[in-house]
Each structure stands twice: as structure tokens, then as C-alpha cells.
Structure 1
Amino acid sequence: MVRWCGTALAALLCTVLLAGCSVGPSLRPPVAVRGEDLPAPPPPPAAAPADPDALPDTDPVRGGPTFTDCTAEVLAGLAASGTEPPEDRALAAGCGRLTVAADRARPDLGPARLGLTRITRPGAPEDLPALVVLGDTGIDGSSRAAATLAAQLPDEVLARYQVIGMDRRGSGTDLLDCAPPDARAALVDADPTSADTATMDRLLARSRAIVQDCYLMLSGTLTSFRAASTADDLEALRSALGTARLNVVGVGDGADAAAQWVTSHPEAAGRVVLDGPGDPTLDDPARTEAATASAEAAFDAFATACTAGPACPLGPDPRATVRGLLDRLSGTALPVGDGDTVTAGSTVHAVRTLLSQPARWPELTAALAAAVAGDPAGPARLLRSGGPGPPDGSPGSFDAALATRCNDSRVRTTPGEAADLAGQWGARFDLFGVAAAQQLVTCGPWPSGGTSASQSPGAPGAAPPPPVLVIGTARDPRSPQSGAERTAEQLGGGRLVRWQGAGTGAYPRTPCVTAVVDRALLEGRAPAEDVVCPP
């Protein structure tokens, strides 16, 4: 073994050898010795900047709740709602439950259980990445919204993900039914032409009865029905599924809840689509005023669609026809039988809800035309299904929607203030203005203190979320397009998609929006600039 330069003699030999090696041409590059007169070496190359339009990779599911087959039940529900999947598309559905804290700040209140529905292709791997759907409380439960979305998704998206609907609190399998029926009916049937303080006082008293009964039934969890709780539930689902990041599609106030989750847990956000969020910078009454203006614009779109046909059943001026119908029903409701009636108030509730679903506009047109002709049977069925509850008389989404709306507002309106607003809004919004002011006073007895996304910041120093797609629809009866604009601004990395269409939820109803969202979900690419999609 040779020991290099280990002794004094060896050191001398090494010196000689090294000196000898310096004679003659060298094939090695010269070695520079740094001195005061030599330039400093260049800094190391900077790391390549992160791609600002790249979305996180999808994460497989590594666990989660147990799902039992409920394919027949889900497909029957799709058939009943008129959103059956294409004939060549087979779907498999599983139903399960997620247990969460009723209130994270109050462990003593115990658990709450949320319904889950998983939709896949038959035989799909159980570890497919999850695409979680949060629906709007005023339209449909999230589980049904997930099934509806899965029936319409492009094949490539359904092959890539398992679609999981998580019910909002108080909807689906855990339906909130705490309001006294007579008090609920009083709110629904309130005359949408009555703008006086006496009417507002009566509505306040009825709402107080609802709060009292619900408080007794819910054992202190009355305030847990809010967007912030759904944001907590979404994080609990991510943890249960064992994924580092979660992919989410939120629609309507489901988008509001998903935005709060992204704000609070930016590191957990995967590929997120917020479809039709409200304006997080507004609270009542400004928020209700903006939504009412948007609902009036949605009705104009509905009227235009009707009159564009060869013979609109509502005549050449659908707004005037419906306005006349409401005036008639305010005086005399249409009797249906068994003591039930079609009232002006229930009609306003139903019309505004069904405006969110353009696929059902032909049904709405026929129902309104029948009511104008004095026939209550068809209108009663359809208007109820689009209003506070289904035809069987159960509460439907009314209780949960009321609780969520009131809990998410920090402002309470007195009967006098509501009467003043009803006078102003009634002049500006002839179909929905007075009813919107009445809704404000119904929140009077509810505990205030709702949170918004701006009040739910992430941890100090947390990394910003990845780019988030935020879709705003020009004539969305739930929220103006400015809601999406403000949401995108608050998220920092929000990428805005403006659709000049109508209804709540643009994806996948239009090719332009579908192309942008599919690219995000399949390729992990967000648009570099805001996108405007035609009607």
C-alpha cells in the first residue's frame, strides 16, 4: 500500500513530483489563486422560480370512512331530479358518515355526524384522489350535488377522481327539523308586498319561536350551522381520508365555506374550484341588497329565455305577468286541498330558488303559467319542490338554510329598519325586494357573531395557498359576480373566471368554463390571466 506524503521524505518527494508536473503543457484547466486584485467568483445560480400557474399534484386517498353500496338509491334520486347520467355512463355509489365535533370550541357538546356520498365508475380503485363537493344549502344537499356533478362530469375527470359529497350541517341524512311548522309556514308565506313595521314585528315574533325551539332541541349547537363549521368539517374529512392536500368544488354558499377552509388551511389546499361565492367583504344589509339585485337580473335572463321561444306561456312581458300573479295571490291564495295553499310568499321563495337551476326553467314557466290560469295542482308540486320543502311536507332545506344564513351574518336588523329597507328595495326590486327585507328581520333573534373568510386567517407566516379557480356568473340569483371578484382578491392567488350566463354553478354547464376547470383538475394548470366566458 502506498501512503501519500506521510513522512518528511515523502513530503519532499511529493513536492518534487508536484513541481515536475507543472512543467510542459497541461490538459487540466488552470487553477486560479484568489487574491485581492482578482474578481470575486460569480454567485451560485438562483433556483428556478416556481411556476405560478402550477397546481399541486393530486394525492391518493389512504383511508377514510366506510362506504356501503347505495347505487340504486342515488340513481333513483338522479332520475327524480331529471339529471340522469348518459346512457353509456355507469356509476357506482357508496354512502357513509363522517363524525366531527359539533363545535370545536365546545368539546362538551359532543359529536355531529355528516352524510357522505362517494361516486365513482364501477370497479374504480379505492385510492383514487378525492374530489370533494360542497353544495349550496338553499338548493340541494352536498351529497346529491355530488351525484349530480358526477353524472355531468367529463369522462376523463370521473376516471381520475372519486367524487365525494359531504353534506352541509342540517342537510341530507342529518336533516335539521327544529322549527315549529306554523312558525316556519309564517315565514315562508309572508306577503311579499307587506312592507310595514307591523308585518316585520310579526315575523320577528315567529322567528323568535323558531330560535327557542331549535335552541332547546340542539342543546347549545345552534350556532354551529355556519360556513366556518363547514370549513372545519372539510379539514376533518381531509384528515380522515389521509390526504396531504384536498381537491374541492364548492358551489354557492358551499364555495363560501370552501374559501374559508382555504384561508385557514392554505397548506392543505389542492386543486380548488369556488363556483359562485358571495362577497366576503359584505355583511347585511349590503350583502342581501347585492344578492337581491342579482336575483332580479337572473329573472330578466329567465324572461328573455322564455320570450326567445315561439310562444312564451307567460306572454310578451313575463315580469309583468308574474308581478300580477303575486298581487293576486297576496289577496287570495290558491287552495290546493287539505288546507294547503299556494301563496305569494311561497311562490317568491320557489321562483328565486328555481332561478338558480336553469335546467328547470321550463318547469318553472309551466308552473307559473298554470298558477296564472288558476290551476294550483301543478304549481303546488313544483313550487314546493323549489321552495322550503318537498311535496311531502317535510322541512326540506329551510331550517338549515335559515340557520346558516343568520349565523353567517354579524348584523341584526330591527323591524323598523327592515320596514325602511322594504320600502326602498320594493321600489328598486319589484319581485324580490320586500321579501329580501323580510328575511333580514327573521334573523333578529338569532345569536350574532358569524365569521367570514377575512376573519379566519391562516397561521402566522403560513405559505399562501396555490392558485384557486373562482367562478362568477353574471346573473346568479344567489350572488353577484362581484362576489367572485372579491373572493379572488382575498385569496391572493385566485384566478377569476367570469361567465356571462345565469344560474348558480357554472361548471360543467358551459364549454368555456368546463375547459378551464378540466385543465386545472386534470393537468394541474391554472389560467395565467382572468378568463371571460360567453353565455
Structure 2
Amino acid sequence: MPRNIKRVAALLPLLLLVVTGCTAGPSDRPAVAYRDSEQQVAPGPNPPEPAPVPPLGGPAADALHWEDCTHRTRDELGGAPPDLTFSCARLLTTLDSPEAPERGTQRNSLIRIGDGTRVPLVVLGDVNGEPGTVFAARLAVQLPPALRNTFDIIGMDRRGTGESDPADCMKPQDRESIVGFDPRATERRTLDRLLDSVVSASQECLLTLDERLQAYDSWRTASDLEELRLELGVPKLHLIGRGEASRVLTTYAERYPSSVGRMVLDGAPDPTRDAIGRAESRAQAAERTFDVFAQQCTSNGCPLGPDPRRAVRDLVERTREEPLPAPSGPVPAGRVVRALQIGLRDQDSWPQLAEALAAGARGDGTGLAELSAPLLAPQGQNPPWLDGDVITTCNDTTLRVPPQRSGQLAADWVKRFPLFGGVAAQRIVWCGSWPVPQRPLPVPRRGDLPPIPVITTAHDPQELALSTDHMAQQLPTGVQVRWQGAGHGALGRSTCVTEAITRYAVQGAVPTEGMVCPA
């Protein structure tokens, strides 16, 4: 019997336990408390002194084989300044699966913006967004010349995403079911249908990925960064992480403190809350950001009318019964909400989001289908986002919630967060049938790191401002920088924040603690 078939057989009892209401691992923990089994690092009695800002260092002396990919990257971005050149490479790292520790090979896709004559600056983005290479290229376009003239910006597709051995393993019908699932479902019988799709997806991914399944996580991505540093031939790695990628960077700092250069976290999740607490806070963050979107829309002749929240709520209710038509296929209510989540990330695109929602209200789902398409379908050479998101999310937490508890969370959150509470609760359901990871992510506690600017956005649809503030407070060397604007990530969007981070990255000038940048 092939090994992957044996592993499915071994996993099936766990899946059946989940379906019947049992669970492995902790389940009934308070939603807001993190002081539980996901905590790993105990605080030391006498924290060391913070390290000084590391020297900038010199250019990489790497042996990576870089090839020009400017034309392809320009197509993916929809254009770029003529002075920017892009080159791509592959980095081979150790897979290090639980079944074969420190063995196997993982291929990581890289992009470099620059000609290799400058200091490397590595950028990582969220696992639930566009691949890291595309994100790094897009961010480079937004960064000022002072940064681009100092650094070669390097992006990496995280494990299982983009072209880094992508986790393209779910059946299309399972993706459609998971993404399009009723965002206001609260009854156990209804949620069981979602669980059926999740179980089917997990079985398919286990068959396809075999031992790789549990090797796609933030812990091992941190080791990819260390292997990248060694390959680049630099003593310290300068790093920027947006959103959930901040957990990769703090894990890297805990594991390889002497390798940390100048590091920035932009829109980091709360390290003091468990998976339930983080999902709850993200639902709240999306609701608050939607209110800002609605206010801005009504101030500029909103196509959704005088009450955008009511218009969107009515649209969701209608599509619960009858999906919107679109050229690529029907757009059910869950997909409407997920399109809204994606659209809220970039404030510059809010007018287009409003038009897509208004078209949906008129019965045309084309715009909303286009917004949510990357979750479900390949985009060029990049696979659907959903697979890598689910796998990494579930591998990064030891929390497994039984179906009964999931229904209770859904009922509570749908009332408190009418647009986004349901899909937030569904993310908890995702992990119920996945193997529990052997190692939780470490809590960021090191006090011997250099100063780390942590950027908070007042209205971030993915992270509450308070959540990112908690990251800055948890890090002994964290430095709070606040932007009063909206969208996911301030770097490259706020001139004030970007200038402060540029001074830090280029000159080593640490931002003033608690500095506030206007919207």
C-alpha cells in the first residue's frame, strides 16, 4: 500500500471524530486568552539589553541563478516604472517534514527588484493574498527612490503558494463550496455541509501532498529565510513583513536572533490571542473598515445609495437564495463577502469595489467574481490562493474546534459582526479536520534584538489597530508607528510612514516611539 494511502487511512478516524463532534487537542478555551497550549516560550527573569541597529552591510555575494523576468512581471503588475528591472530565481531549501526531519527538498520562487549591486531587503506578504513575488514587486513600485537606490528588494513565494511548490490540491468543487458557503449559516446541520467540503479537501490534499502537507507552515518558512540569508552571503537579513507574514518574521527572530538585521512589521496580528481570538478581532476589523468605506462612498456620490451597509446587507441576503450570474459562473453570498474582504484591502480601489457591489445589486456579478477569482482559479502561473491559505493557517495553530463550538461562534459572531462574522467563524471550521502540528509558533519575547518598528493602521480590514499595538507591546524592542488611514498595510501608502521607515532602513534612524501619521 503506498505511503500516502496509509496516511489517509490513519487520518480518517480523526476526520470522523470531527464530523461526529469530537476533537483532538484543546477546544473550549476562552476566545481572547492566549495563555494556553499555543504558548511556547517562557519569559526570562532578566531580559538582555536590546541590540543596536545593525549596520547596513554590503551587497549580496550570492550564487543564485537569476534570470530576467521583467516582461512577465510587468504583465502581472499591469505596468511598472521603466527604470525597474526584475529577475527571478529558485532557492532550494530543506523540506523538513515531520516524517523526515531535516530531509527533503523545498523549491522557493524568488524575485529581485534591482541589479544585484545593492544590499538585499527581503519582503514577505500574507499567505491569504497574492504570491510574495508579486507582492514584493508591487510594493517596490510604491517605495521611494531612496529605498530602491539602497536595496535590492527580494520577494519570496511562501511554501505552498505562488510557484514555491504550490499546494494546488483541492478539487474545484470543494473550493467553490468553501469560498461560496452561506456567510450567515449558524445551524449545526448547515455547518456540517461546510465540514463535508473541508474533510474532502483535506483528504485530497493529503493524497496529493503526502509528507509535504505538514511542512507548509510559518516555522519552516522562517528556516527558508535563514537558508536564503546564507545563500545571499550576508551576515544579517533585513526584512519587511506585511500582515500575517509578521508571524514568520517574529519566528525567524526567535530562532535566528543573530541573523536579524533591520526588521519592520506592517499590520501584524495579535500575538496575545489564540486562533479564535484572532479570527474574532479580524471580523471586527473588517466591520470597522467597511464603515469607513461606506462613509467615504457616501461622501463621493456612492453608487450604493445613501446607506451602503444596508445595500450590501440586502445583496448578501438575496444571494443566499439565488447567486449572481457572472461569465465565470455563479457568485453566491459567501463569495460576495470574500470579494468585499479583498476589495477593502486597498483604499485606492474602493471606488471600483463600490461599482462592483452596485453592479451586484443590479444583478451583475462580474466585478465581484473578478475580485474573488484568485481564491478559486489560477492567475497566470500562480495557483488558487485558497489551498495555501488553508494549509498554512491550520499548520500554524494547534487549536481544533468541535462542530458544536463552531456553531456557537457562528451564531454569536453573525449577530455582532453582520457582514463578516460568519466567514470569520468558518475559518475556524477549516482546521477541524487537519492534523494538529507538532510545534506551536513561538511567542515573540527576545529582548536582545535591534529596534523593530511595528506599523499600525487605524482601519485595517485584516487586523485591528489594537491587535498590532499588542504586537508592538509584546516585542521587547518593538517601536509603535501609527497611521490614521485605511487599508491593509501602511508602507508605500502613507508618505509619513514610508519616510519614517526609509530613514530607519537606510540610515538606521529609529522612529519616535508612538509616532502618529495622519490619514
- Identify the TM-score tier after normalising by the shorter chain: 0.7 to 0.9
Q: Which structure has the higher relative contact order (CA within 8 Å, separation 6+)?
A: 2
Matched, 1:493 2:484: no
Structure 2: give runs of 5+ residues left out of the alignment. Answer: 1-48
Partner of 1:289: 280
Matched, 1:416 2:404: yes
Map 1:234-253 → 2, pairs under 5 A: 234-253=225-244
Partner SS, residue 454 of structure 1: coil
Map 1:362-381 → 2, pairs under 5 A: 362-381=351-370
User: 2:188 and 2:495 mapped to 1: Cα distance?
Assistant: 48
User: 2:512 and 2:364 mapped to 1: Cα distance?
Assistant: 53
Partner of 2:340: 351
Deviations 1:109-133, CA, capped at 9 Å, x for gaps: 511101000111xxx4x24110101
| AA at the equivalent of 1:427 | K
Partner SS, residue 93 of structure 2: strand
Matched, 1:305 2:268: no
Partner of 1:516: 500
Map 1:265-276 → 2, pairs under 5 A: 265-276=256-267
User: 1:184 and 1:493 mapped to 2: Cα distance?
Assistant: 41
User: 1:244 and 1:109 mapped to 2: Cα distance?
Assistant: 25
Deviations 1:58-110, CA, capped at 9 Å, x for gaps: 3421214111011111111111xxxx434xx5111111111111126524751
Partner SS, residue 148 of structure 1: helix
Taking a change above 3 Å as real, the CA distance of residues 422 and 393 of structure 1, as seen in their structure-2 partners, is farther
Map 1:215-226 → 2, pairs under 5 A: 215-226=206-217
User: 1:328 and 1:517 mapped to 2: Cα distance?
Assistant: 45
Runs of 4+ in 1 over 6 A off after TM superposition: 50-53, 391-394
1:395 deviates by: 5.0
1:220 deviates by: 1.5
Partner SS, residue 507 of structure 1: coil
| AA at the equivalent of 1:237 | L
| AA at the equivalent of 1:399 | D
Partner of 2:325: 335
| Counterpart pick for 1:114 among 100, 103, 108 | 108
User: 2:378 and 2:339 mapped to 1: Cα distance?
Assistant: 11
Matched, 1:85 2:80: yes
1:397 deviates by: 0.7
| Counterpart pick for 1:326 among 316, 319, 333 | 316
Task: Give the RMSD, CA atoms, in angstroms.
Answer: 2.2
Q: TM-score, normalised by structure 1?
A: 0.83
Matched, 1:65 2:49: no
User: 1:292 and 1:396 mapped to 2: Cα distance?
Assistant: 23
Deviations 1:304-345, CA, capped at 9 Å, x for gaps: 221121x1001111111000000000011123357x201101
User: 1:418 and 1:73 mapped to 2: Cα distance?
Assistant: 43
Partner SS, residue 330 of structure 2: strand
Taking a change above 3 Å as real, the CA distance of residues 332 and 109 of structure 1, as seen in their structure-2 partners, is farther
Stretch moving more, 520-529 or 444-453? 444-453
Q: TM-score, normalised by structure 2?
A: 0.86
Contact 1:356–1:476 at 8 Å: present in 2 too?
yes
Contact 2:124–2:241 at 8 Å: present in 1 too?
yes
Partner of 2:31: none
Matched, 1:179 2:170: yes
Aligned pair count reads 469
Partner of 2:462: 478
Percentage identity across paired residues of the two chains: 38
Taking a change above 3 Å as real, the CA distance of residues 388 and 255 of structure 1, as seen in their structure-2 partners, is farther
Contact 2:50–2:450 at 8 Å: present in 1 too?
no
| Counterpart pick for 1:405 among 368, 372, 393 | 393
Taking a change above 3 Å as real, the CA distance of residues 485 and 450 of structure 1, as seen in their structure-2 partners, is farther
Taking a change above 3 Å as real, the CA distance of residues 519 and 456 of structure 1, as seen in their structure-2 partners, is closer
| AA at the equivalent of 1:300 | D
1:489 deviates by: 2.7
Contact 1:101–1:107 at 8 Å: present in 2 too?
no
Contact 1:263–1:491 at 8 Å: present in 2 too?
no
Taking a change above 3 Å as real, the CA distance of residues 483 and 388 of structure 1, as seen in their structure-2 partners, is farther
Partner of 1:445: 433
Contact 1:130–1:163 at 8 Å: present in 2 too?
yes
Partner SS, residue 504 of structure 1: coil
Taking a change above 3 Å as real, the CA distance of residues 534 and 52 of structure 1, as seen in their structure-2 partners, is farther
Partner of 2:13: none
Taking a change above 3 Å as real, the CA distance of residues 499 and 419 of structure 1, as seen in their structure-2 partners, is same
1:55 deviates by: 4.2
Partner SS, residue 342 of structure 1: coil
User: 2:158 and 2:349 mapped to 1: Cα distance?
Assistant: 23
Taking a change above 3 Å as real, the CA distance of residues 104 and 211 of structure 1, as seen in their structure-2 partners, is closer
Partner of 2:120: 130
Partner of 2:193: 202
| AA at the equivalent of 2:255 | S
Contact 2:124–2:245 at 8 Å: present in 1 too?
yes
Taking a change above 3 Å as real, the CA distance of residues 507 and 159 of structure 1, as seen in their structure-2 partners, is same
User: 1:270 and 1:64 mapped to 2: Cα distance?
Assistant: 21
Contact 1:367–1:383 at 8 Å: present in 2 too?
no
User: 2:326 and 2:491 mapped to 1: Cα distance?
Assistant: 37
Taking a change above 3 Å as real, the CA distance of residues 376 and 304 of structure 1, as seen in their structure-2 partners, is same
Stretch moving more, 141-150 or 376-385? 376-385
Taking a change above 3 Å as real, the CA distance of residues 293 and 299 of structure 1, as seen in their structure-2 partners, is same
Contact 1:137–1:168 at 8 Å: present in 2 too?
yes
Partner SS, residue 462 of structure 2: coil
Taking a change above 3 Å as real, the CA distance of residues 104 and 404 of structure 1, as seen in their structure-2 partners, is closer
1:390 deviates by: 5.4
Taking a change above 3 Å as real, the CA distance of residues 483 and 260 of structure 1, as seen in their structure-2 partners, is farther
Partner of 1:428: 416
User: 2:379 and 2:499 mapped to 1: Cα distance?
Assistant: 37
User: 1:466 and 1:393 mapped to 2: Cα distance?
Assistant: 38
Partner of 2:90: 97
Partner of 1:382: 371
User: 1:393 and 1:69 mapped to 2: Cα distance?
Assistant: 16
1:418 deviates by: 1.0
User: 1:398 and 1:533 mapped to 2: Cα distance?
Assistant: 34
User: 2:438 and 2:323 mapped to 1: Cα distance?
Assistant: 36
Contact 1:488–1:495 at 8 Å: present in 2 too?
yes
| AA at the equivalent of 2:172 | P
